Structure 1
Amino acid sequence: MQAKETLFADLVQGRAQQFQVPLYQRTYSWTEKQLRQLWTDILEQAELLESGEKASTHFLGSVVLAPSPQNEATFPRWLVVDGQQRLTTLSLALAAIRDHIADGEPDEAERIDEEYLINKRKNGSDRLRLLPTQADRAQFAAYVRGPLSEQAAGGAVAAAYGFFRRKLVEAADPAAPQDVLRIEEAITSRLTLVAVTAERADNVHRIFESLNNTGLKLSQADLLRNYLFMRLPTRGEHIYETYWLPLQDSLSNDELEQLMWLQLVLDGDDRVRRQDLYAAQQQRFERGEVSEAEIEAYIKELYRRGALFRRLLHPEKEANEAVRAHLHRLDTWQAQVTYPALMLLLDRRQRGELDSADTARAMSYIESFLVRRMMCRVPTNNLNRIFQAVPGQLPLDVAVADGLHQLLSAENRFWPDDDELREKVRTAPFYKFGRGHQRKMVLQRLEESYEHPEPVDFATAQLTIEHVMPQSPGDEWLRMLSEDVVDGESAEDLHSRLQHTLGNLTLTAVNSELSNHPFERKQGLLQGSHLEMNRRIATTERWGADEIRARADELADRTIALWPAPLRGVGRAERSRDWNLAHQVLAALPHGTWTSYGDLAAFIGSGAQAVGNHLANTPGVANAYRVLTSEGKVSDGFRWAPQDAGGDVRARLSDDGVRFTAGGAADPAQRLSADELASLVSEADDPADSEEDTTQSAPESQGEETDADSFYLQLVAENSPERRFFRELAEDNSPGTVEAVRGLLARWEEIGGTVYHPGGTKASGSGAILTLEEAGAPDSVISPMGFTPGCGLGGTAYLDFQWLAVTEPSARPALRAEFLRLLNELEGIDLQEREPGRGPAPSFPLSVLEKDRNRELLVEALMWVRDRWESRD
């Protein structure tokens, strides 16, 4: 590459040439804020020219260019890899100057046109010296070539041109006129650029990536779009016009990014974070040579799913009434966290795997899952993970709606049953649960359940939640409550216990009129209400504890009828496709090898105990007995699965070539790690290893990954940092410490936390970070603790107090001190708080977790942090 400082005039003047903004670039997006700042800089330079001062020029930024594939010796064409916003803006400013002086100084206008804007002897799109991305091309050409009457109205290009025309009129104010040609000179010869020019052999995408993959300039969707269209040299125009441009026009950039992330999730990547979208999709495409047909297939699928995604954003676009009603309610709930599951249902319906009735039924399970958890105050911080995992965990052997019901009913999903729901409706302070719009929606659905012949139009009614027994009761209320107290409880205590329960809440448009008045006065107002639930309250003679509980029982019955219950007896949710893969890799174990529960668990992203339970209860799993403890011994809890042949395990292992040490353990040299298990699957599924290679003759439209390839690529992408952490942990810590850490991480996830494993490169090292995230707000996160595997000194747990000191609620010194006190209850730990940023972070060795009591105390301390996080102001 070559880099040099240049001026706009030097860059674009001279021989005929063209600067092409590639299809993959985002559209022109400068707003008036950037335009005003540029105009100020231009006027400043024009004044310096007028005064004759030899002041420095103004640095505008960089432009990165590369030879276009359409380059010709007689007509150079350059790809604008970076800097298109600046070039487009300056071109529009010059077009505005040209048009401003066209009547009075036509020769100067023609000069500006020919020097900076057009290639005089070229036709068609070649006539434009700057060729914007296709979405902006027609409008830009209208301003450069005219006539303006043919331009499309609106858009950023039109706004920028109009801005400069207005400012030029201001500059011509007779009271203080400014020379327009001085302004032109300032633009072309006083605004400096650094032009970076790549050679043909340079990888321009890597240049672009290094300039823009900082999360500041371009979004993940921008980067991925650029990446895709850079790999479509021959079919890019057609694909852009047919699929990408309509998709881009129908969604905002943020929505498009969300759709791209959902596509990854639907295709099986259930752990990718949205901020890692670009890297994850790039990693998939770069697992081998990707053809244009494969990228086209990806964009066509994105286009198809875009129509489905718009129904989530705009439920009124859904034709089926029942499905539309569920989408409306989930939209009202602000349940974006459920999008992976909703997209899966709409996708499967479009593929013919379920009809609209079953789609609505499946959505009722999702709605019930959210509502019941909110009413029973189940923490929401694991909802992202639950719904993101749905595509990968959905059972394969049952219908979609039934499978979703089964999946959400798993015991580690915490979907409250009828008994728990009924109890919470009767006793829990519903008014303090969830968010206001969610509480209001529950009450609205309960009102609708009465099926009044003239239902209220909730879209226009100005309804708020009303406490029938007021929050600040007067003497009359307290006297009535004193009649209901038992066991020495005071009226104030009874009021405090019942005031926020669902039985005491309703909807009304006259909240201020009801106020804290006695019940007799409220009765009249409620009697005249259009809501059936209010008229029923008004028929009651008094409103005390018994009446509130009776109404709660009635509403509980309606709640149970409206929102279906989970299935009973469903175990933990596991990834069904991963179990299939576990069976495949066990069947592929070479003679004379074995693996451990921990290795197999790391390979499929589960837990060692879950692996053991699955193998013990699943008949017909080949080589299940060759899964041993990390010490190479048969687990004390090992049992043959029902219907399996059984026999002496050690004898079977010996027959399979597994050697044993003098201590009775399987030879550790024959143990296969998680990475080695992954290599077994990749070798078995590699088409190149088959007797006949059919990939050359297969049509391009069939160039898709096999399921096994997808599994392997997914596991490599998802688990390599996790595997590296546990491999390094095992290298530098005892087996007992490794298993203790595994158990602790699993327990953290069970109580609603997330475990993040950094990239784990040789440069950065590996680790495990415990985090808590707010559902639907991935930027709202706290990390109470992290683990490092050790570098010859044993693994360490550390507290990042510099982060905790600026993150609510841990920013409060008293809370950090209490967290340290809880940790210091562990045997062998004595942590002292240091001022954030001063000295090393408080830490302790992971080996202390080998003691059961220490693990229990640490979990209690982490649950304390979780509770403070969830109840934060």
Structure 2
Amino acid sequence: MQAKETLLADLVQGKKQQFQVPLYQRTYSWTERQLAQLWRDILEQVGLLGNEDGASTHFLGSVVLAPSPQNAPTFNRWLVVDGQQRLTTLSLALAAIRDHIAGDRGDEAERIEEDYLVNKRMHGTDRFRLLPTQADRAQYAAQVNGTTAEHGAGDRVAAAYQFFRTKLVQAEDPAEPVDPLRIEEAITTRLTFVAVTAERGDNVHRIFESLNNTGLKLSQADLLRNYLFMKLRTRGEHVYETYWLPLQESLSNEELEQLMWLNLVLDGDDRVRRQDLYTAQQQRFEKRAADEPEIEEYIKQLHRRSAHFRKLIHPREEPSPAVRSCLERLHDWQAVVTHPALMLVLDRRARGELDDTDAARALSYVESFLVRRTICRIPTNNLNRIFQSVPAQLPRDVPVADGLHRLLSSDNRFWPDDAELRDKIRTAPFYRYGRPHQRRIVLQRLEESHGHPEPVDFATAHLTIEHVMPQAPGDAWMRMLDEDTMLGESAEDLHARLQHTLGNLTLTAVNAELSNHPFERKQDLLKASHLEMNRRIAAAERWGAVEILARADDLAERAAVLWPAPLRDVRRAERSRDWHLAHQVLAALPPGTWTSYGDLAAFLGSGAQAVGNHLANTPGVINAYRVLNSEGRVSDGFRWATPRDEGDDVRARLAADGIAFTAAGAADPAQRLSADDLARLLADPDEEGDEDASAAGTGDGEETRAARFRRQLAADDSPATVAAVEELLASWEALGGWIGHGAGQTTTSAYLMLGAAGLPGKGIWPLTLYPGSGRGGTAEVVFQYLASRRPFTDRALRAELLARLNTMDGVDIPEGKLDLRPAFRLEILDDPRNRALLTETLAWFRDRWETREAD
């Protein structure tokens, strides 16, 4: 038996061989949780390519191989005893890269296929370099061959391939594009394995068990501390008591590790990873042959800088009011990514290079950089690199604050200028981007800009974000919107375009009963508000498109003053970023779904005609043909942007993707994704959420929330539906669940919870019930949330939940919405059979959760 460290390229590349997954092995089982972690590791290694400091590769684990009984002298076949999940995943990633570049780099695509995926000139199953288990084979072959195959909702091979196709589109971000061939290089030369090769008769399972035994690992801080005091042979006790012990007592071990990493970054190392902290610092000392005084000075420096670090995590310790205010806002924003820049400012202030006023100005640039990018929907994926590079790249010929302003203003940082800021405040669906607490902070700062003589105490006010024009408008709202539509636009299109923009959002703690009433009913409520922005809204005679856009312009002027602009009007790529966002979301369309030009335009904050023109004239946009008109038909002006597709029948391609058609020939409207659905496709389920659905715990206000939910339900639904919902809630409690209620003051909700009450993050729920808001109550099935919660990370389990729900009359959720949050009407529960079926489904859900494997 031989064991050695190897790379995927060395294991697989260029050899006529096959890795066979035995039939007794489990089927492919990686979920998006594991795929996302691997993708982060791959991108991290991409950033380390060419690093002359010998940064560590990423260790993926073991691959245990044994000779196959089907081995032949000219064709080696290996049984994969351990490692099939990793090998399958990396093969699918390489297949996705091949297909991503096939249009304009065909030679490279062919090379990837022949080096890693297939055995050229072999036939049948021998053609595949990796041969999965029988259950996965057809779908894996379809991805490698570039063909279509029937797949179920729970098929993980197809889902993994689609995951990588989507991520590759995202990696084309204009702010920091990543070459797909660099990703290939990282996969094949930066991910390492221990390859254990057995001979016939060897006990491969014994070595498999040994390799997979793990113990409690020392942290990077533990390793570095041990190294430091090993070097302090004569001064160790004094240094420990004077500097290290106070440092260790003021910070947790995780915080201490973060400080040690920041210390390296401040000293100019803009490439070091936190997990390489110990190795990087050790190498610095060894390279300089550091003696005891140098080691002691390093620990003193950590001790000094710990005071700065504590102000980042405890801003109230900062004595300067101006600096403290900036630090508090950045702390509330949860801007951990900016810590290298913040530490630099505080460190330079301590050295006398700038005063409190200039320090606050420097921090305001950091805040503006974050806020403007959020308002303008610029992805956050490159923020780590931007801020980690600040200490090393800060100009030395100007004062610190001016240098930071200049550095962040450079054209590859994408700090939006005033023109872009004004445009996005008017058009971008702000409510559907970023984190809920960040959206509140933006509105809070805009309210504070009014300088009200009796400012609101936001810490105790319990305000939530309110849509002035509601998300579910009644007939009165729609009639008013109809007056403001443009040529070719419906009231529904106008509502979708404006509902989530900043001009239509405010903060309020108003009574829930008036949440969706006509504007005239809202005015009295808003007039009585302590917030100046609400009183100004109440002064309007109506609330349609004209008023929303006028308020957006006012907010934009305030925002431009609150958050400083970059230094100069440098080259920007605003529209290319918008189109990149369109490419991302189209690549993420699940099988069996379509969207419309209007939906995509509302998601982008663009116009439907501009969307159509772009798709028609841009080759290589994945799933562009799945954008239809609002009736679900192929647009009269549609044309294939790629010559090789010309002549293909669009409807046949749609049918192959699982899209059904009505008797009238239109795409099934149940499979259509709205603008909100599109936003959820790219959202992090742990970060994305409505303001009104941000909490489901129990507490002092639980009875009030429950009563509010019942009042709203009774105000909108029939007595029969209210009684049916009450029966459902009672049935859920009889099953051992409990009812949580959302924290929203405007519109509340009811969560069907399992797990310990009052312990956030420890429970799970399958459904959220919402009052009707003028159109009848709904039950939202939270597939997107369940996809990150065990055991429902298993796509097959979510597919079974969907199938069970679809047995109810009036429910027909398409498979394509298995990663979203589809809803059905509460009124269907009026039928006793439907209530019985739903109760059975909830019992099944409870049983699956209670028998889950421990994390």
TM-score range, shorter chain: 0.3 to 0.5
- Give the TM-score normalised by the residue count of structure 1: 0.42
Higher relative contact order (CA 8 A, sep 6+): 2
TM-score for the superposition, normalised by structure 2 = 0.43
